[in-house]
Structure formats: structure tokens, C-alpha cells
Structure 1
């Protein structure tokens, strides 16, 4: 979903994106680690890595490896949305993903709280609105769990939710 050419950002825009990244890496992820632990994470990651290419589970494992991130129990359901919906793990795409999910019916505190950072990025508001509407046009995935869909092919999941039609 992210564009190939990144616009030149001014100092404020760079700072706003750093705040978004900091909120995720220094606040949300540590909370999930503390709440759910990481004991089973390596076993689950090994399983996901063993799945065939093109499956959701393998896509999540590859995405985490590409971004040098660890699998965090109860957070993998967020990671699956990156893979199914095609959003990168940049600050901009995190906000687009949250806008999509809000349109898709996710009114959770986590979604609303993270999307509140959009106030720092007014240049993204028109794009976030488009992603919100895209989420409204797509069948709900807010309750999807990686354990249920790991062996499914990503292209088929996208068809199932109507993503190609919504794009």
C-alpha cells in the first residue's frame, strides 16, 4: 500500500512520525509482552516459518523477519492485518491501517488511541479518509485470529473479504 516515492518531510513531519513509532515500540508492544508473555512465541514463529510461501502465517513470519521484529503473543493478530491488507510497517502505513480498521468496524481503545496520533499528520488526512472508506467497503476482519487463518493463502483471503474490489 505504501507508495514507492516518499515525499520530502519537514522537521515537524519527521517528529510526528517518530512519535507514532515510539508509541508502538515503547508503549503498546511492551504492554502486550507484559500481559501475555513470550514463552510460546518462538515455537509459534517456527511453525509460521515452516508454512508454504503465499500463506498468511508465512507472510507474517516473513514480514516480522524483514522488519527485524519479534512475534508477540496476542499482537500477531495485528500483524496479520498488515499482511492481508498490504500495509507496510511505516508510521504512515500504521495510521492507514488503523484508519482502514476503524472503517472496518474496529472501535477498540487501541485502534482509536493509536489513530489519535493522526492529529499530528494533517498532510495524511485525505489519504486516511480514503483508507477509512476502503475499510467500510471490505468484509470485517477485526476479529480474525492468526491461528485460524495461518494456513490460508493470502490472495484467497483478500478475495474473500472483497479487498480487490475495495482497492
Structure 2
């Protein structure tokens, strides 16, 4: 039984060691003193403010601001994700849904996604929450440190209609797919067109079927684009009325 528990904890241990190693490497090549002074100033702010909460969180967990990743700790506190391996992956799932699709975010999320398959449902829930929330990918500590955390959290998290957001995202994907279908179909038709006027029967037959396939692909894309574009218009109208 103890052996099974040890095996189940192994992925989280790997993630924890990886994060600590990454932070250690970054700190070795950065001016840590500067960031310690920032935390000291944040700790002087009024209780309940985001800056004060960030400072208290770092101090209680015996951590420091990671040079170049200060906004990372802002998001931890604002979104109420703890400084644990699982919550780190959960926060990255939220941020990807929130529009922060960067190499570090994707790398950290995929790392946790592969090592923690038993948490996939939780990660998906966080991703949807990110979709339904106001974008915070560009937020910086100096901009929001004096605002109250509870007010900011209420304003940001879950502030959008998730069903409407999902429909909008799917509509955009459908429009892009339709355009790609028309583009590929049109290219195939143009490529085969000269061969349709060839006196050689083999060229005529060989180009005829691809040309027909391209025409079908183009027509299907055009039809899909038209239908999806109408749906997109109705969704935008509903969103405008809702606001």
C-alpha cells in the first residue's frame, strides 16, 4: 500500500523538483536583492490589497519574486491558486484559456498534463474558467498592487458567459476552417485547370477528378463560411444586447 502511494506521488515530486530547479537557475543569474526590496515595499501596503497579499504569500511560503516572472505571483494570488505543483498546472490551464498562450505556459501545462492524467477534469474546468474570465495576461504588479484583491477577483474571474465564449471560439475555428477549405480547393482547381484543355486523354482524366474534388472542397468551404458567418452575426448581436 505504501509502495502504491509513493508511486502516485512521484509525478508531483518530479514537477516540484523541476520548478525549484528552474527558479534556482533563474535566481543565480539575476539581481535577487532588487526583488527582495520590491517585496518589502509591497508588504508595507494596506492589508487586503493585492500587493500586500502577494508579499504575505511569498513570505509565508518562504519564496521570492522570480526575476522576469513577477506577474506570475500576481496571478497566483489574484486567482487564489496555491504555491503547489498541482495548482501551478491548474493556473497554467486557466491562463491558456485566458489567452496567455506562450511557450512557458504551454510547456508547464503539457508537462503537468502528461504526468497528472488523474487531474485532467480539474484542468479542463480551470481552462473553461479562464475562457470565461477577463484577460489578465498583461497585468503587472505595479499597476494593481494598491487595489483590493477581493474586488479585483470579483471583477475578473467568471465575468463572461462561458457558453457564449465557447460558441464564439468554435465559430472562429469554423470560419478559419472554411477559409482553408476554399483556399485549398481553389488552389487545386487552378493547378488542374491547364490540364483540362490538354489534347492528351491521360492529362484530361488525371486532372478532371482532382479538379472536381477541388470544386467540391471550395463549394463546401463557401457554404460553411456563409452559414457560420450568419451565426457569428447573431452571436455578436446577442453579445451587444447583453452588454
TM-score for the superposition, normalised by structure 1: 0.86
**C-alpha RMSD over aligned residues:** 2.0
Segments of structure 1 that go 5 or more residues without pairing to the other structure are: 1-8
Matches within 5 A, 1:52-131: 52-117=46-111, 118-131=113-126
Q: Which has the larger radius of gyration?
A: 2
Counting helix residues as a fraction of each chain, which structure ranks higher?
A: 2
Instruction: Summarize the Cα distance change of 1:165–1:67 in structure 2 as closer, same or farther, 3 Å threshold.
Output: farther
2:144 maps to what in 1?
A: 149
> How far apart in 1 are the matches of 2:132 and 2:20?
30
The alignment status of 1:24 with 2:19, answered yes or no, reads yes
Segments of structure 2 that go 5 or more residues without pairing to the other structure are: 162-243
- 8 Å contact from structure 1 (residues 99, 115) kept in 2: yes
> How far apart in 2 are the matches of 1:54 and 1:93?
22
> How far apart in 2 are the matches of 1:83 and 1:48?
13
1:55: how far off? 0.6
1:20: how far off? 1.0
Between the two proteins, the alignment pairs up a number of residues equal to: 158
> How far apart in 2 are the matches of 1:20 and 1:11?
15
Instruction: Summarize the Cα distance change of 1:35–1:68 in structure 2 as closer, same or farther, 3 Å threshold.
Output: same
- 8 Å contact from structure 1 (residues 32, 75) kept in 2: no
RCO comparison, higher one (Cα < 8 Å, 6+)? 1
